[in-house]
Amino acid sequence: MRSEVEWPSIPAMVRDGAQRYDDALAIVCSGRRVSYTELLNCVTESAQALIAGGIESGDRVAVWAPNSFEWIVSALSVTMVGAVLVPVNTRFKGAEAAFILARSGAKVLFTVSGFLDTDYPLLLADAGVDLPELTQVVLISGETAARVPIPVVPLNEFVRSGSVVNESVIDERVAAITPDAPCDIVFTSGTTGSPKGVVMTHGQTLRAYLDWCDWADLRTGDRYLIVNPFFHIFGYKAGCLASLMRGATIYPVAVFDPSEVMALIERERITALPGAPTLYQSILDAADRPNYDLSSLRLAVTGAADIPVELIRRIREELPFPRILTGYGLTEAGTITGSRLDGDAEHIAKTVGVPWVGFEVRIVDQTGADAACGEPGEILVRGETVVRSYFDDPAATSAAIDVNGFLHTGDLGVFDPDGSLRIVGRIKDMFIVGGFNSYPAEIENLLLRHTAIAQVAVIGIPDARLGEVGMAFVVLHADAALGEAELITWARAEMANFKAPRRVAFLDELPINATGKVEKLALRDVAASLLAEEL
């Protein structure tokens, strides 16, 4: 049964949390332990400063910073004044961040200097991009060497500026926010072109992530360690907002280090640790893991098209999680499917579970007709939390959302006879070998059966005879030995000939983005270089 959404908006939820949970810990970060009541006070002060700076309902305000207490306060204060949050990827360079700021028309930017030796305001200044809408940069930590015409204000000075705004003005702003008001614009990764701004409303967000809380069984008093970056919905919405809905404690982690994370788990008795498969693999493979008490861990949530079954088995056997879940989600909709609670390792690793209540999920062929069970096709989804439009982009909106309200995801999937969904790749990643469609995720899952392979990614490369063939990029387990010819021979015995890679490159690690996904564009560049050397 789905829990009822009790709040009209995110700030209403935050205020309600302060009343419900009062002195309970909301956030523990960098030695600071903040209660729910204290969090509300900090958010309110930041909201007053935004109003003092002229931010109106509907204005866009960006946050370009790593996971931290200050990120959460900044983001929540944006929603509290009826403005629209624009998270920016911390891996972006200046020009990439400037594109998001210009595209969204952000008026204020919260950012940092010093994270991983990076001066973010200086990156922005060096990009040389005109940002006429941006009126203020708030430096939430560090010192910047940037000399820019836009005022750069330290956080404490910014907060003090809000003292002229009466709290009654905040009350009025919060009361005016309806469930249909936009709360954030999260820009897609741009792997198929320029990033598109996904506009979500307060009501959609609260509905989607209350459902996530129910599925994950997130509880009051849980201690949730969030490694997933806040600029991504897995970190912000399925992390911060979900925790605040349920009265859990948030432990932000800016940079993942297995030993430091395990020490934090032991010290704070962490119960929830969602993340990409690589997070769990890193903990399992850490040489010092036996030195730490991880027995408090209760909830693991992950998701990917190519999770090795052996990884799920190892998590179950070697880590204490009684609850291990996988799902399929989109920036444009939140989580759409989730694994069954009684699912075995094969179900958890090889499928993304079954569609949730509130969603219609279809698999369609190239003609738009429903594909037969077991046949791959594009995943279409419709539901109340599915994006209604991309920001200021009617062409992208009409291209992605059809006249019947179905979002065309660009992902390729297959329904199993039991109703479970398997992801087999992206439409753009599919390649055709001598007339046969080949799906990278399917091939990757088959290759992961080889005991020497820890990670693998497959792309299509040009071939004079067949048009395209598969190339596999492989990361081996420590101390494992495997050659290209040996793996190709093994693959031909394990899968249809057209699926078996014709080329193999061995890497120390795969290029991974901040959300744990393999950057296949980077692999295409590697493949192109290798092929060019052979000419």
pLDDT tens series, the chain, 535 aa: 689 999 999 999 999 999 999 999 999 999 999 999 999 999 999 999 999 999 999 999 999 999 999 999 999 999 999 999 999 999 888 988 999 999 999 999 999 999 999 999 999 998 888 999 999 999 999 999 877 677 899 999 999 999 999 999 999 999 999 999 999 999 986 544 578 999 999 999 999 999 999 999 999 999 999 999 999 999 999 999 999 999 999 999 999 999 999 999 999 999 999 998 889 989 999 999 999 999 999 999 998 766 888 889 999 999 999 999 999 999 999 999 999 988 899 899 889 999 999 999 999 998 999 999 999 999 999 999 999 999 999 999 999 999 999 999 999 999 999 999 998 888 888 898 988 888 888 899 889 999 999 999 999 999 888 889 999 999 999 889 999 999 999 999 998 899 999 999 999 999 987 667 788 989 999 988 888 887 6
Helix (H) or strand (E) holding 395: helix 394-400
**Do 140 and 110 form a contact (C-beta atoms < 8 A)?**
yes
| Domain end point (choices 394, 426, 458) | 426
Same domain, 41 and 119: yes
| Domain end point (choices 372, 397, 426) | 426
- Asked whether residue 191 is assigned to any structural domain, the reply reads no
Same domain, 417 and 446: no
pLDDT of residue 306: 65
CA distance 457 to 523: 9
Chain position carrying tokens 């432990």: 251
- Asked whether residue 194 is assigned to any structural domain, the reply reads no
Residues 6+ apart with CB under 8 A from 155: 70, 138, 139, 140, 141
Residues 6+ apart with CB under 8 A from 315: 280, 284, 300, 321, 324
The CATH number linked to 376 is 3.40.50.12780
Kindly compute the dihedral angle of the four CA atoms of residues 225, 222, 5, 386, in this order, to the nearest 10 degrees: 30
**Do 51 and 43 form a contact (C-beta atoms < 8 A)?**
no
pLDDT of residue 532: 82
153-170 as b/e, with b when 16 or more CB fall inside 10 Å? bebeebbebbeebeeeeb
Same domain, 88 and 173: yes
What is the greatest pairwise CA distance in the chain?
73
pTM of the complete model beyond 0.95: no
Please state the domain count of the chain.
3
- Asked whether residue 295 is assigned to any structural domain, the reply reads yes
- Asked whether residue 215 is assigned to any structural domain, the reply reads no
Domain of residue 69 covers: 10-16+33-181
Same domain, 260 and 381: yes
The CATH number linked to 105 is 3.40.50.980
CA distance 272 to 320: 11
Same domain, 116 and 264: no
Same domain, 514 and 395: no
Nearest Cα neighbor of 19 from 2, 4, 34, 35 is 35
Same domain, 274 and 419: yes
Same domain, 417 and 441: no
How do the residues of the chain divide into helix, strand and coil, expressed in percent and rounded to 5? 35, 25, 40
Same domain, 261 and 409: yes
CB neighbourhood size of 391 (10 A):
20
- Asked whether residue 220 is assigned to any structural domain, the reply reads no
Same domain, 512 and 365: no
- Asked whether residue 193 is assigned to any structural domain, the reply reads no
- Asked whether residue 25 is assigned to any structural domain, the reply reads no
- Asked whether residue 87 is assigned to any structural domain, the reply reads yes
Same domain, 440 and 410: no
Chain position carrying tokens 């989607």: 208
Same domain, 448 and 420: no
| Domain end point (choices 374, 408, 426) | 426
The CATH number linked to 444 is 3.30.300.30
CA distance 42 to 428: 45
